[in-house]
Structure formats: structure tokens, C-alpha cells
Amino acid sequence: MQIDPVPTGPVQTEPRRYVSGPDQHEQLLAVLADAGIELGEYDHRIIEWLTLSPGQAWGTVATIASWVKRAAEPDTDTDRIRETLDSYLEQVDQDDVDTDVLAETIALQLQRRRATT
């Protein structure tokens, strides 16, 4: 069954669509597996409770799955910073670079950027 995709950004309105309990169960397990989350027996009981008996609306399950999916996404800021630093360090004499100051400057810039978004 084709299910409305799990939201990939902040959820502003309830994802609406009828999705059967078994399909919700399958979708949530897939998101958890994609995130690399190892599940125990009690985890499976809660997933079954959430999706199968009596089951929640798809909006609830989709929102929870969205949290997991977004939390598991790679940190693109980190990747971009790493690429920029690698490029920078290839162009300068590394003995002249104070990496502690550089790291503090980058962290401060990230804090400022996140505060404005």
C-alpha cells in the first residue's frame, strides 16, 4: 500500500489519511530500522500498542515516525564544515592555524545561525 510519506520537516498540521493498523505498524518499523534503532521485546509491545491495538490515527504515528526520521538524519552542517575545513587546511600552512580558536569561531557562528532560524 502506498502511504502518505512520513513528514521530513516540522509538522504544522496533522498528517491526514486512513492507514490501517498493520500498515502503520510496518511503516513505523521501517522508519526505526532505517534509523538503525535496535528494538527489544518491550519496544515491539509498545509499537504494537501504538499501531495495532486499538491503534492510533495515522497522524499520531506519522508524527512520531517523523521525529525518529529527522533525528536520524545526518548533520549536514557537520559535513559542510568538514568539507570547508579540509579545503581551508589544504591552502594554508597548518602550523599557522590555531585549531582551538577556529573551532570556537565555528561553534559561535553555528549558534548565531541557529538562533536566527
pLDDT tens over the chain, length 117 residues: 455 578 888 898 888 888 889 999 999 999 999 999 999 999 999 999 999 988 688 889 999 999 998 888 776 667 777 777 777 777 777 777 777 777 778 777 777 777 776
Does this model's pTM top 0.75?
no
| Measured distance CA(117)–CA(69) in Å, rounded | 20
HEC-encoded secondary structure of 73-116:
CCCHHHHHHHHHHHHHHHHCCHHHCCHHHHHHHHHHHHHHHHHH
37-46 contacts at long range (C-beta below 8 A, 24 or more positions apart): 37/68, 37/72
Report domain extents, the chain. 21-72, 76-116
